[in-house]
């Protein structure tokens, strides 16, 4: 059987509800209460009511999952959501501005056959947490459908698959939506059976590396197992054997991995001289003059060097940035501290930062969870106590900040093939994929044929 298959999506009927821009949302796990409220007000059929139904007064437990399921059924009965007549692949483009350039990321949407991590050629790169998987399983059980996509990477050096699919969309008007960040999203169904079969064959033996949506992937596996426990073995083509996935070739020029910098509380307030002393021979260090505002200069030097060995540390005690470059001594120490990990894992900037610098050399093991930001300006605002401070839920001042290089797609592939998981927040794939473009029903008896 093919690794990927087309599917007959459940989609918004725009003749009924109007603009797709009013109906979509980012993934549930990047939506804060303020954005959730904005999306609720944007349109009565916005997908937020399914993917992140809010807690209402009088709720005693899991009522919000039941409300999400009622919205699905209501919208289907009212014609707000309609099922496609036949299984298709879907081409999906994201157009956005980055560093003064217009970027076009080309992706396609499919069903991907499930294999538990470690038992097939689908590889994770991040750890998952039980609480999030329990939440998503309750939603899947209530709605009986995939409500958001997994984001998967596959090797395709010549971009053969997406080029074939793009060609099939020539002359066809896409569905279009613009999200709250100004990213333009375009969607085309691909109905040509010859193209569908050719893509299925090209994808048959390719590995897939989960870029985003690890919890949703494991939830899909858990939902399948739950059905098997309730009903017995599922047929080969039962829709619960698959999960709705956005697939992007790892060589697509639109693929961007942004950094995730760190703001920490609960550590000592180090001076720059203390940091340099504690890092010792493991790092070659220099102080970058200019105080906190030198963050941009530090990051520019790191970006230009494109070196995982470079880490920027802000000393809050004397308002100085330290630019540190790992030496051979650092790797020797990492061999001791993380002997169970591969050389690829130990060489990551985020591994060096957390395992060696923060936990060991600075002696801050057990610190509270960092605040993660993707922009240097956000980091500076956080230190100054300005802005939203990203994911933070505390008003306590930050005691340490770090600039760290993002892992690249090659790191994701290599470390995943070692069957290792990267440290938390090693990657940030931008832009995030929209929820609300398609839903994938998981009940048997739908339109699951045409798998190529």
Tokens of 223: 């939902």
For residue 18, count other CB atoms closer than 10 A to its CB.
Answer: 12
Phi, psi angle pair for 419, to nearest 5°: 60, 40
Predicted confidence at residue 447, as pLDDT, reads 58
Mean pLDDT score, 116-135: 89
Predicted confidence at residue 120, as pLDDT, reads 86
pLDDT (tens digit per residue) in 365-418: 999 999 999 999 999 999 998 765 444 456 789 999 999 999 999 999 999 999
Whether 291 shows a pLDDT value over 80: the answer reads yes
What is the Cα–Cα distance from 379 to 102, expressed in whole angstroms?
Answer: 25
What is the Cα–Cα distance from 247 to 267, expressed in whole angstroms?
Answer: 40
Q: Counting beta carbons within 10 angstroms of the beta carbon of residue 200, is it exposed (0 to 12), middle (13 to 18) or buried (19 or more)?
A: buried
For 440, the 3-state DSSP assignment is strand
Predicted confidence at residue 16, as pLDDT, reads 92
Contact 239, 442 (CB under 8 A): yes
Mean pLDDT score, 256-270: 95
pLDDT (tens digit per residue) in 132-142: 999 999 999 99
Give the H or E element holding residue 108.
strand 101-113
Give the H or E element holding residue 258.
strand 256-258
What is the average pLDDT score of the chain?
Answer: 93
300 bridge partner residues: none
- Taken as a whole, the chain contains a residue count of 452
pLDDT (tens digit per residue) in 196-232: 999 999 999 999 999 889 999 999 999 999 999 999 9
Beta-strand relationship, 150-154 and 208-212? antiparallel
- DSSP track, 14-75: HHHH--GGGT-B--GGG--HHHHHHHHHH-TT-THHHHTPPP-TT--SSHHHHHHHHHHHHH
Mean pLDDT score, 253-264: 94
Percentage of the chain with pLDDT > 70?
A: 96
Whether 2 shows a pLDDT value over 60: the answer reads no
Predicted confidence at residue 390, as pLDDT, reads 44
Q: How far is CA 426 from CA 77, 129, 149, 354, 381, in A?
A: 43, 16, 20, 11, 22
Per-residue confidence band for 289, with pLDDT thresholds at 50, 70 and 90 = very high
pLDDT (tens digit per residue) in 73-97: 999 999 999 999 999 999 999 999 9
Q: Counting beta carbons within 10 angstroms of the beta carbon of residue 125, is it exposed (0 to 12), middle (13 to 18) or buried (19 or more)?
A: buried
pLDDT (tens digit per residue) in 169-191: 999 999 999 999 999 999 999 99
Residue 435 DSSP label: B
* Contact residues for 303 (Cβ-Cβ < 8 A; gap 6+): none
């Amino acid at each position: 059987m093919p690794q990927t298959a087309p599917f007959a999506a459940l989609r918004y009927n725009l003749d009924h509800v109007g603009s797709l821009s009013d109906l979509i949302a980012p993934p549930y796990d990047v939506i804060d209460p303020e954005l959730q409220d904005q999306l609720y007000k944007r349109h009565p059929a916005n997908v937020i009511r399914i993917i992140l139904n809010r807690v209402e007064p009088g709720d005693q437990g899991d009522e919000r999952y039941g409300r999400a399921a009622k919205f699905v059924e209501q919208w289907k009965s009212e014609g707000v959501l309609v099922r496609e007549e036949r299984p298709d692949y879907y081409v999906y483009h994201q157009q956005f501005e980055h560093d003064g350039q217009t970027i076009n990321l080309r992706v396609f949407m499919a069903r991907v056959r499930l294999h538990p991590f470690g038992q097939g050629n689908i590889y994770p790169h991040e750890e998952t947490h039980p609480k999030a998987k329990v939440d998503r399983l309750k939603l899947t059980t209530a709605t009986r459908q995939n409500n958001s996509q997994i984001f998967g990477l596959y090797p395709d050096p010549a971009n053969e698959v997406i080029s074939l699919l793009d060609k099939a969309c020539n002359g066809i008007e896409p569905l279009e939506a613009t999200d709250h960040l100004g990213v333009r999203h375009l969607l085309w169904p691909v109905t040509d059976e010859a193209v569908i079969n050719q893509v299925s064959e090209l994808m048959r033996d390719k590995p897939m590396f989960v870029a985003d949506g690890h919890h949703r992937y494991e939830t899909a596996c858990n939902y399948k197992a739950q059905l098997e426990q309730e009903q017995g073995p599922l047929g080969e083509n039962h829709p619960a054997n698959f999960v709705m996935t956005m697939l992007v070739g790892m060589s697509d020029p639109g693929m961007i991995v942004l950094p995730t910098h760190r703001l920490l509380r609960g550590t000592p307030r180090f001076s720059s001289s203390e940091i340099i002393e504690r890092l010792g021979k493991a790092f070659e260090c220099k102080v970058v003059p200019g105080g906190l505002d030198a963050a941009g200069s530090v990051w520019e030097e790191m970006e230009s060097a494109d070196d995982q060995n470079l880490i920027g540390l802000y000393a809050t005690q004397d308002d100085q940035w330290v630019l540190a470059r790992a030496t051979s001594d650092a790797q020797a120490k990492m061999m001791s501290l993380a002997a169970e990990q591969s050389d690829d894992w130990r060489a990551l900037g985020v591994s060096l930062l957390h395992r060696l610098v923060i936990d060991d050399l600075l002696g801050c093991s057990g610190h509270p969870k960092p605040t993660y930001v993707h922009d240097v300006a956000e980091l500076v605002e956080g230190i100054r106590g300005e802005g939203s401070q990203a994911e933070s839920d505390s008003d306590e001042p930050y005691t340490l900040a770090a600039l760290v290089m993002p892992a690249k797609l090659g790191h994701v592939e290599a470390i995943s093939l070692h069957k290792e998981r990267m440290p938390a927040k090693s990657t940030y794939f931008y832009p995030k994929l929209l929820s609300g473009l398609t839903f994938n029903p998981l009940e048997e008896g739908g339109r699951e044929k045409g798998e190529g």
